[in-house]
Amino acid sequence: MSNLPKIGIDIGTTSIKMVELIPSGKDKWKLAAAIIAPSLAGGVMGNPGNMAAFSQTIVKMRKDAGTKTNRVVVALPEEQVSSHVVELPLMSDDEVKQALQWQVEQYIPIPADKAVWSWQVIKKDQAGGGMEVLLVASAKNLVNTYIQILEQAGLEVVAMETELMATARAEVSAEFPLSLIVDIGSKTTDMGVIEKGQLVFSRTVPTAGEAFTRAIQTSLGLDANQAEQYKSTYGFSADKLDGKLVEAMKPVLSVIAGEIKKTSDFYVSKHSATGIGLVTVSGGVAVLPEMVSVLSGMIGMEVSVGNPFSKLIMDKNQAQSMSASGPIYGVAIGLAQRDI
């Protein structure tokens, strides 16, 4: 593990999360800083004029949080990253790289000369003579935009990776059984299968936090701000508002539950003799009251809320102020924990 502090930055649809971690012993990190700020409408790629504003926002966040290092790991949006498991004969790393150079366009939706791609071995079968490699690719213009924004903010980009890879590192132990991580954001829900602490399959569905808010607005006749407040305060508590909130949101959660079951069934049918043993939920929706118990009942599987603080050393004030924010910071914490 690198013995240097790192910043993790998660640029989401509605908020930007930043943490600074300092390595402190084996698999432990000291939380040096954490801050969250509103994101910009249109996102990183939706409005070219946003680039300077994003840089300025990040500069202000660093100043307000008191970060010291300028080394940063940043997450690329899951929905703008292509991930594919490639089956190859057993070969060396150099041979894998050479083989993928000739095959990469078969697996990604953009021309190879317009993409940035990387890979990692996720499984080797010595007896069968084969291996599985996770190929990850993204558009060059997206990668270059992120680098430009962060460099203009005075940061050195030392690595990039997907949101799910970072969340899995922070929240899913290598000792866990075959697991599914479900990161429910504002506009999309990212799902990934984790085996021995490693992401081996991922997909994104377009149903997430904003859909819950819209359902409450429509059903209860509320404006967006009030609907969001009700959602955050009462969640799926059946005894609040005569159960009307639960009734409004359950159809949306049913869609996500159905996609969880599809993801689990597909992966198990193709790759594993054992079923998914645990579902870990992350993101802002994960902390809604009673959401975990309702989702568990829908999918018939054990569900828990991700805890990215489990490997962090925090003082009393930090622990108190961030006690309810764990899943929200999952991506940023996982990024800062990445070994460089």
| pLDDT band, residue 201 (cuts 50/70/90) | confident
Least confident interval from 46-60, 154-168, 264-278: 264-278
Percent of the chain residues topping a pLDDT of 70: 98
Pairwise CA distance, residues 64 & 75, whole Å: 21
List the 130-139 sheet strands across, edge first: 81-89, 130-139, 115-125
Percent of the chain residues topping a pLDDT of 90: 62
Least confident interval from 34-38, 173-177, 285-289: 173-177
Q: How far is CA 160 from the centre of its chain?
A: 13
Structural domains of the chain sorted by starting position, each given as residue range(s) with its CATH number in brackets: 6-77+140-172+307-336 (3.30.420.40), 80-138 (3.30.1490.300), 205-303 (3.30.420.40)
Q: Bridge partners of 201? A: 193
Q: How far is CA 252 from the centre of its chain?
A: 20
Amino acid symbol at 150: L
pTM of the model: 0.89
Per-residue model confidence (pLDDT) at position 212: 96
Average pLDDT, the chain: 90
197 or 54: whose pLDDT is higher? Answer: 54
pLDDT digits (tens, 9 = 90+) for 98-155: 999 888 888 888 888 899 998 888 888 777 788 888 899 999 999 999 999 999 999 9
Pairwise CA distance, residues 7 & 131, whole Å: 33
pLDDT digits (tens, 9 = 90+) for 165-174: 999 999 998 8
51 Ramachandran zone, left/alpha/beta (phi>0; psi -120 to 50):
alpha
Per-residue model confidence (pLDDT) at position 1: 45
State the average pLDDT over residues 271-287. Answer: 85
Tell me the pairing of strands 189-195 and 198-205. antiparallel
